Each structure stands twice: as C-alpha cells, then as structure tokens.
Amino acid sequence: MGSGPVVVSEADHGVRLDAWLHRLPPSDADPKPAAPPGPAAPPANTPEAAAAPSAGDGAAASQAQPAEALSRRAARTLCDLGAIAVDGVLAPPEQRLRHGQTVQFAREHFARSLQLGLAVRCDAEFALVLHKPAGLAVHGGPLVDTSVADVLARHLPGAGLAQRLDREASGLLLVGPTRAALAALGAAMEQGRIARTYLAVVHGEPDFEHRTVDLKLRVTDEPRGDRPKTVVDPNGQPSVSHVTVVDRRRGAALVRVRLETGRTHQIRAHLQAIGHPLLGDPRYGDPAANERARGTFGIQRTLLHCSELRLPRPDGGELVVVDWHPEEFARLLPRLRRG
C-alpha cells in the first residue's frame, strides 16, 4: 500500500493510530532495518576472495528481501514528527481512529523523515520541503540546543535554508538540497516567484473579510522575548500582507495571510497593528486573551502556521505543497477537520 489517504474500516474502529500504521501491508517505500554486520572480507588474491559475493551481488540480495511492516516505534515517531494526519489535522500516535475517518500520509517520505527527524513534505532534486514543529529554531544561537540548520549540516551537507520561519511558528520550510538548488531558490525568492501562505488564529472578531495591510516595518534589537521586535514605522521598510478571514468563532478568527514581502515578524507585527494579534503570541499578543486560550483550550504556542508554498519547477511548471492543519487550530476551530 502506498501513500494515503486511506479510509478507516469498521474493523479498525477504536484502534490507536500507531498500531493502525504498524498493521498496514508492507511497502518497499518503508524504512529498512539496519542490516547486521557481515563477515570480514577475505584477503585479496585468495580463493576465498574469488568466491566472495560482490557489492552488486549484495545489493541484489538486499533488494530481493521481502518488505517489512512499519515498526510500532517508527509509526510513533512519524506521528510525533507531523508526518501523519487524520481528516486533515496532524494526529498524535495515541489517537483512537473512528470508522470512516481518513488517514493521510506520504509513505515515500517515511525513510527520509526518520533520517532527518523532521517530517518531509516534498523531496525533489530542486527543492526539499520540511514540516517544522513549533518551538524548533531554524538557525542556531546562544539559547538554541538544536536547529533545522544543525540537522541539515549533519545529514545533508551542502543543503541550506531558502526561507525563514519564526521559532514559535510551525509549518512548511523550504530547503535547497544542494548548493545549486539553494542558489536557484534564492533567486526565485528575490524575484517574487515563490508564494508563501500562512494560517493564523487571531484574537478578536475582524470587521472585514479581506484586507491588505500596507504598513512599513522597522526591526529593532529588542532582546526580550515578551516585547515586540518589529514595529510599525513610517521610515521603515515597505511591508505588505494580504489577510483573508477563513473561519470565525466567538472572540477569535482563522485568517489566511499571503506575504508580498518577507520582513522579520511581519505577520505578527501587522496583525497586532490592525488590532487582531495572534493568539498565544508572547511578544505581540494580548496577555489576557492568551491566558484565556491557555486555560480554556490548552494553547501553549503562537498560532501561526505556514500552510502553503508555491514555487517554480525547473521544467517550467509549478510545485504546490500544502500542509495539514495543526491540532491546536482544530481544537479552536473544529470545522477544520475534514470528516
């Protein structure tokens, strides 16, 4: 069985997600367990060496081995990384499935996701798209134990980040898998040929359906994490965000934000400036609203998610990558679950 979506059968009603993944029929795309070490090679120019299998023979023997089911441990890890969704929402391994729900995954990316410790959404020669969880920094720093840049340096030398994403945010992160790919993506970004779209849950009830925020921004050197770093300033850099209301609930709304420019903390500063700061944002948010969201819905993070990337393909076409919704978003806005 290849990539999802797969509809949960009546027989699997009530089964944990990690157990359900473990029970899927084996696939050649699944990560392979490490092979046990073989015997030492015999000395060259001996009869034993002549009779020993070649590297090609070993590869053929390895390929001939039957595929194995995904281990329960690998299934749990993939869920924790954000590689599995249920009804369009990222799902934890302990979630109990219901008959008729749809489980979504990309089995061809399982091995790479487990290698990197980051869920892979697209793995092409010209672009690697990862899912970054909230709380993980993209670059190293004094208060950073590990970062996406560290992971790339360790597993993909020569790869580099083609996009920034706030530590507090989650979602799609664009990577150039090689130096040449990174240079091409950087040029496309400079030319405005890469479109980034974000979903955000904001405090308050917007009195608009669509609004373009065209406010210049200035980045300060404010070191504290509970104070704005980017402020509206008529002498700042031109900054444009297109904001569309997607869904509403009492006291909050889900908005889609398309960036025309990409300043540091642009979305957070722009939404604060129009009176609808992000829920859960310690720098730009409303402290009382954040506390209510934490107490009522268990919101412990800034509700900002990079949900879609559009970029040019080398063949002249367009690559569109869409991420699933974070569970915290669906907790506030249940209609995000596509049941």
pLDDT, averaged per 10 consecutive residues of the chain (339 residues), comes to: 81 97 83 51 41 38 56 97 98 98 97 97 97 94 88 96 94 98 96 96 97 97 82 96 97 96 95 97 96 96 98 96 97 86
Task: Report the predicted TM-score, pTM, of the whole model to 2 decimal places.
Answer: 0.86
Task: Give pLDDT, residue 227.
Answer: 83
Whether 247 and 254 have beta carbons less than 8 Å apart is answered as yes
Q: 18, 30, 87, 166: which one is catalytic?
A: 166
pLDDT of amino acid 27: 75
Q: What is the pLDDT of residue 140?
A: 83
pLDDT value at residue 148 = 97
Q: Supply φ then ψ for residue 292, to 5 degrees.
A: -65, -45
pLDDT at 143: 77
Residues 275 and 175 in one domain: yes
| Residue 166 is a catalytic residue | yes
Query: What is the per-residue pLDDT for 235?
Result: 96
Residue 331: the pLDDT is: 94
Alpha helix (H) residue ranges in 6-129 = 17-22, 47-51, 55-64, 72-81, 110-116
Q: What is the pLDDT of residue 338?
A: 77
* Structural domain for 102, as ranges: 1-33+40-116
Looking at residue 173, its pLDDT comes to: 98
The distance from CA 145 to its chain's CA centroid, rounded to whole angstroms, is 19
Confidence at residue 197, expressed as pLDDT on a 0 to 100 scale: 97
Q: Are residues 163 and 28 both part of a single domain? A: no
Q: Do 172 and 111 fall within a single domain?
A: no
Q: Identify residue 44 by its one-letter amino acid code.
A: A
- Are both 70 and 170 inside the same structural domain? no
Number of structural domains the chain divides into = 2
Give pLDDT, residue 64: 44
Pair (203, 318) in one structural domain: yes
CA–CA separation, 205 and 276 (whole Å): 8
Q: Would you state the pLDDT for residue 36?
A: 44
